[in-house]
Chain A
């Protein structure tokens, strides 16, 4: 969001521009059109999802969609209950958050309050590389390295399971959580830390009792936005969690997520306009609404942080 500066930026007299350069106005119009392209993208996304989902719901009752416990749209006896896909998404997201939130928070506190500037300068770019790795590579890692490792702990663990997919997604978003959380901590004025030190507090006490509470709104934003990231992750779950819609809360079992289902159908040759084709848009709409809700919540929390000082 735009920052409120002490005074507005200098604006030249517009009439002078018009008189001297007829092209100035045209250039400004072109630049505005480019900026509006981002609005057009959103309208395109919402438009396509609503249009195709409306066609889907003309064939499937919304009540069935939200209450049925089986998702078998491509079977000979099709059923259209979204619950198994949402359940799979929730479980993998929960596992991912269980990894990313504590690890990301600890890393953020460490980098913000303990690390020397040099160490911070070296580590942050490397942490960002974790985000730069293509997600299909993470999927490979989850299926062929993490799952075999976990099977030594749980010999009965199936080859596809939500646990390894969730763990790897968690590792993927650690940099995101730590980066956003650290930004929140750095926004806390130094004077608050100095006040704490002046009273004899140790660095840990200062971090835990002064900095973290002050930065809590920003850190909450980091967690909420991380949820959105984990929900939207596609390739890791498509590769490692299986593509078998199952209504289960047990991460040791295989299941399909909303995103993995979309991949599965897209890999096939469904005819355009069929109800099977439309199911991926209905799933996409649910996915979009879930991530949108968390994104909005995250931005609201983040904005609140910067209003406090």
Chain B
């Protein structure tokens, strides 16, 4: 029979080791990407289209596509998510419809992302006729991250003390004035953190975009967002075919040639850099706003 102290110590060590193994997996993944992909990172890699020749292949179409899709995703998901969260947290009465929406949001967070892709394929691509376009991709990812935006925003709003609301009402403010001028500004740190993390999740999504028809090989860019004639701003790019970084990585990792695997690692490094940067930004925003707020 081991002594109690020995068992105690062994368990603590086991817990620490298990945690370190999980963190080591992350480190090994990053190290592997860096070892294989670092050499590929060059100006030419960022400025070239995909090619049949691995040394000439690049991620221009992929990273531009990622940026455009993310713009559409943010524009669609953020206002919708914020509005829904404000309603659920500040306006919704205790009512079966409110409960239905609550359960619904929680369940949507657990739906596999590829199922969102199937829904988008049936509705956006064919029923609404949006085709295999940047707009379809952005809307699909927007719906995918909407539950995350709603849940995070609600938590942020809930953290504002009721005293703030009561003070505003005492001075004669309407509910919308209270929400717009006090509750939302005070919870902005949490809201921004949630939005950034949701977009970080969206940027790495591949499965739903495969379903809605992201191209595996694309050697042109969408239309530019400007044009020569009035009104000079163009939205033609919304309906253009597209690819994204994770799609490009998937295409390359599926090739048998080892040189393409190195390209995949390079694309993976870029993708990881974007994701980690967004997570770091979220952590920074959270910490910064936390310092400013004193109840």
Q: State whether A36 and B101 are in contact (beta carbons under 8 Å apart), knowing that A31-B83, A130-B26 are contacts in the complex.
A: yes
A259 CA / B254 CA spacing, docked (Å): 16
Chain B binding site: helix, strand, loop or mixed by DSSP? helix
Q: State whether A9 and B110 are in contact (beta carbons under 8 Å apart), knowing that A35-B83, A39-B101, A266-B211 are contacts in the complex.
A: no
Residues of A within 8 A of B106 (CB): 1, 299
Q: Is A59 an interface residue (CB 8 A)?
A: no
A295 CA / B106 CA spacing, docked (Å): 9
Q: State whether A34 and B87 are in contact (beta carbons under 8 Å apart), knowing that A48-B119, A134-B271 are contacts in the complex.
A: yes
Do B279 and A129 have beta carbons less than 8 Å apart? yes
Question: Which residues of A131-145 are within 8 A (CB) of B?
Answer: 132-141, 143-145
Contact partner, A37, options B33, B84, B162, Cβ 8 Å: B84
A52 CA / B214 CA spacing, docked (Å): 21
Do A35 and B268 have beta carbons less than 8 Å apart? no
Q: Is B1 an interface residue (CB 8 A)?
A: no
Question: Which residues of A246-297 are within 8 A (CB) of B?
Answer: 259, 262-263, 266-267, 272, 280-281, 284, 287-288, 291-292, 294-296
A97 CA / B261 CA spacing, docked (Å): 29
A12 CA / B90 CA spacing, docked (Å): 11
Contact-residue size bin, chain A (C-beta under 8 Å from the other chain): 35 or more
A145 shortest CB reach to chain B, Å: 5
Q: Is A41 an interface residue (CB 8 A)?
A: yes
Most B CB atoms within 10 A — which of A34, A106, A291? A34
Do B107 and A136 have beta carbons less than 8 Å apart? no
Name 14 interchain pairs, CB-CB below 8 A, sorted by A: A12-B169, A28-B175, A32-B91, A35-B101, A38-B105, A103-B21, A137-B268, A137-B272, A145-B32, A232-B110, A262-B114, A266-B211, A267-B216, A291-B112
Chain A residues with CB under 8 Å of chain B are 1-2, 8-10, 12, 17, 20-21, 23-24, 27-28, 30-39, 41-42, 44-45, 48-49, 51-52, 103, 106-107, 109-111, 114, 123, 125-130, 132-141, 143-145, 171, 174-175, 202-205, 207, 225, 228-229, 231-235, 238-239, 259, 262-263, 266-267, 272, 280-281, 284, 287-288, 291-292, 294-296, 298-299
